[in-house]
Amino acid sequence: MKVAVVGATGLVGTKMLQVLEERNFPVTELIPVASEKSVGKEIAFKGKQYTVVGMQTAIDMRPAVALFSAGGSTSTQWAPAFAAAGITVIDNSSAWRMDPAKKLVVPEINAGELTPADKIIANPNCSTIQMVVALAPLHKRYTAKRIVVSTYQSVTGTGVKAVNQLMNERKGVEGEMAYKYPIDLNVIPQIDVFLENGYTKEEMKMVNETKKIMGDDSIRVTSTTVRIPVMGGHSESVNIEFEEDFDLNEVRSLLSASPGVVVVDDPSAQQYPMPMDAHERDEVFVGRIRRDETQPNTLNLWIVSDNLRKGAATNAVQIAEYLVAHRLL
Residues 15, 141, single domain; the answer is: no
Residues 28, 154, single domain; the answer is: no
Grouping H, G, I as helix, E, B as strand and the rest as coil, residue 254 is helix
Q: Among residues of the chain, what percentage have pLDDT more than 90? A: 99
Residues 147, 212, single domain; the answer is: yes
Q: What is the pTM of this model?
A: 0.96
- Domain limits at 100? 2-124+312-325
Residues 173, 265, single domain; the answer is: yes
**Band of pLDDT at residue 21, cut at 50, 70 and 90:** very high
pLDDT in tens, 141-178: 999 999 999 999 999 999 999 999 999 999 999 999 99
Residues 184, 264, single domain; the answer is: yes
Count Cβ atoms within 10 A of the Cβ of residue 178 and give its class: 0-12 exposed, 13-18 middle, 19 or more buried. middle
pLDDT in tens, 175-186: 999 999 999 999
Residues 116, 256, single domain; the answer is: no
The pLDDT value given to residue 98: 98
Which residues are designated catalytic? 126, 234
Q: What is the CATH number of the domain that holds 63?
A: 3.40.50.720
Residues 210, 67, single domain; the answer is: no
Distances from the Cα of 314 to the Cα of 22, 109, 111, 309, 310, angstroms: 10, 15, 14, 5, 5
Residues 156, 203, single domain; the answer is: yes
Residues 181, 140, single domain; the answer is: yes
N- to C-terminal Cα distance for the chain?
10
DSSP β-bridge partners for residue 241: 146, 298
> What φ, ψ does residue 26 adopt, rounded to 5°?
-75, 70
Is residue 69 a contact partner of residue 35, using CB atoms and an 8 Å limit? no
pLDDT in tens, 196-254: 999 999 999 999 999 999 999 999 999 999 999 999 899 999 999 999 999 999 999 99
The pLDDT value given to residue 269: 98
Q: What is the CATH number of the domain that holds 153?
A: 3.30.360.10
Q: Structurally, how many domains does the chain consist of?
A: 2
The pLDDT value given to residue 152: 98
Is residue 65 a contact partner of residue 323, using CB atoms and an 8 Å limit? yes
Residues 175, 240, single domain; the answer is: yes
Mean pLDDT of 111-125: 98
Residues 196, 81, single domain; the answer is: no
Residues 86, 66, single domain; the answer is: yes
